[in-house]
Structure 1
Amino acid sequence: MRQAVKLNKRFKTEFINLARILDESDLQIIPWSHEELDLLSFHQTSKKSSGWINRIHTGLITSIYQEHVAQYCFRSYFFSAVTNILYVRTSRHQFGYVFFKKHCELFVNDQLVGTLNHRGELAGPRKLRLILDVDPNRDGSKIIKILDREVALVNRLGETDLSFSRMLAWQDVKSTEEEILVLAICVLLNIMKAIKNPVLQSYFRT
């Protein structure tokens, strides 16, 4: 993440617009800390959808104790090279996901971290070095690797699982940068469960 480049003006404007939509809600999110990665759940609350052509989805991601840990706003764009934009914020970080037809650009705090392909591989922004990989297991769980080191295991969630199910079976992040990357992938996987959008569903497949 030390080689991240700045967000361009167009996407920055879009993120600001999506943030304003979230500002209209009076719901609060709690402070996020390293230890709370283990408490992240698949559950969401306050989900809303509006619009038809440029459809907007909003919601809150919760911990297993139903605490609000992240807000998100997802917007679809028709007749554009950019198909969808997802904006997520916790108490400390802002994540932006700009979906093109063949890849997704990931931004953290207004800096480009890398490009995510449909196989779940995140390459850095400059030398295109693979920095993160999401590998599916046969049981439906997913392993998150950073520089070939296993850092987290994402549980499989069935349609009838309880809302307080832990998202991560375990995690072993070694730095703040690794924590941010794992969180960025987890919130994306979480939102994929709630929004049945074909672009979202095309990611993390082999």
Structure 2
Amino acid sequence: MALFALFTLLMAVAGIILLVRVFASFAPGSRKLQQDLDKMKEDMDKWAGDLVPLTREEVELFSFNQEKHIMRKGFGKSAKGIFTSIYHEPVMAYSYKEYMGPGKNALLYVRTGGQEFVYRATKKGIDVLIDREKVGTLREDGGLYNKKGNRMLAQINRDAGEFLPVLVNNREVANVARLNKEESTKVGQRAFEFVREDMTQEEKDVFLSLAVLEVIEQSINR
């Protein structure tokens, strides 16, 4: 009898824990989102370490290689890791979390040697923030539109072939490679090609906001 009571109690506790996890994975409010973002940052402080600044040269050397990569699936997918250059230098860390609910619902935090990017994905699109300032919203057509939604700032062409052109202010500034799923990650496939030398800092920031998101999404969904 005592064993049955203990078993029943343990099952009840397990059920409560399961319910807590399920409800925590549903579409969050702004307060919950901020709490999750703060946790991502605090957690990343523990494992990301120092990152090499993303100069133009490092952008060209950026690869699909990852270190400390962890992927979890359950009540909403989560992932984190550090992307490296082809020479295994750590250049970008990220933390990703999906929430349950209708349509796309996720939070992504990205850190480089000198910047932070935050992405909030909903069924309306993906809000993009650079260093805590909202730049615009990325829509299904691959266009990044300004905060008012009436002007396209940049676009990534996902319908292209091996390389996906990225345009900023209607000018092609670089290409994002498609991840070769057959190729070993040890080979060090470059993530970016044809990077222009004459990008302004603003153009580079906007390019990176689209490019690193594309690289992470390809890696998560491979």
Q: Which bin holds the TM-score, normalised by the shorter protein?
A: 0.7 to 0.9
What is the distance in 2 between the residues matched to 1:112 and 1:10?
19
Deviation at 1:177, TM superposition (A): 1.1
Contact 2:48–2:82 (Cα < 8 Å) also in 1: no
Query: What is the CA-CA distance between 1:51 and the residue it aligns to?
Result: 6.6
Partner of 1:158: 180
Cα distance in structure 2, aligned partners of 1:26 and 1:141: 29
Given the alignment, which residue of 95, 98, 113 partners 2:135? 113
> C-alpha separation between the residues in 1 aligned to 2:58 and 2:48?
23
Supply the RMSD in Å over aligned alpha carbons: 2.4
5+ residue gaps in structure 1?
Answer: 1-7, 198-206
Contact 2:109 2:118 in 1 (8 A): yes
1:171 alignment partner AA: V
Q: Is the 8 A contact 1:58 1:74 kept in 2?
A: yes
The answer to whether the 8 A contact 1:37-1:183 is kept is no
What SS does structure 2 have at the residue aligned with 1:186?
Answer: helix
Which shows bigger deviation, 138-147 or 20-29?
Answer: 20-29
Letter in 2 for 1:93: Q
Pick from 176, 181, 185: which aligns with 2:206? 181
Correspondences of 1:24-35 after superposition (within 5 Å): 24-25=46-47, 27-35=49-57
Quick one: structure 1 residues 134 and 15, their matched pair in 2 at CA, closer, same or farther if it must change by over 3 Å?
same
Partner of 2:17: none
Residue 103 in 1 paired to residue 128 in 2?
no
2:71 is the alignment partner of 1:49: yes
* Alpha-carbon shift at residue 55 of structure 1 (Å): 3.8
2:192 corresponds in structure 1 to 168
Amino acid of the structure 1 residue aligned with 2:60: D
2:210 aligned counterpart, secondary structure: helix
Instruction: Report the CA distance between 1:74 and its aligned residue.
Output: 0.2
**Counterpart of 1:165 in structure 2: which amino acid?**
Q
1:154: how far off? Answer: 1.9
The AA in structure 2 aligned to 1:32 is L
Q: Is the 8 Å Cα contact of residues 128 and 135 (structure 2) preserved in structure 1?
A: yes
Matched, 1:190 2:212: no
How is 1:60-99 mapped onto 2 (pairs within 5 angstroms)? 60-79=82-101, 83-99=105-121
Deviation of 1:192 after TM superposition, in Å, equals 1.4
The aligned counterpart of 1:129 is 151
Gaps in structure 2 of 5+ consecutive residues:
1-29
* TM-score normalised to structure 1 length: 0.82
Distance change (3 Å), C-alpha of 1:109 and 1:10: farther
Of the two structures, which has the highest relative contact order with CA contacts closer than 8 Å and spacing of 6 or more? Answer: 1
**Does the 8 Å contact 1:137/1:143 carry over to 2?**
no
Q: TM-score, normalised by structure 2?
A: 0.76
SS in 1 for 2:204: helix
- Percent identity of equivalent pairs: 25
Higher percent of residues as helix: 2
CA distance in 1, matches of 2:149, 2:181: 40
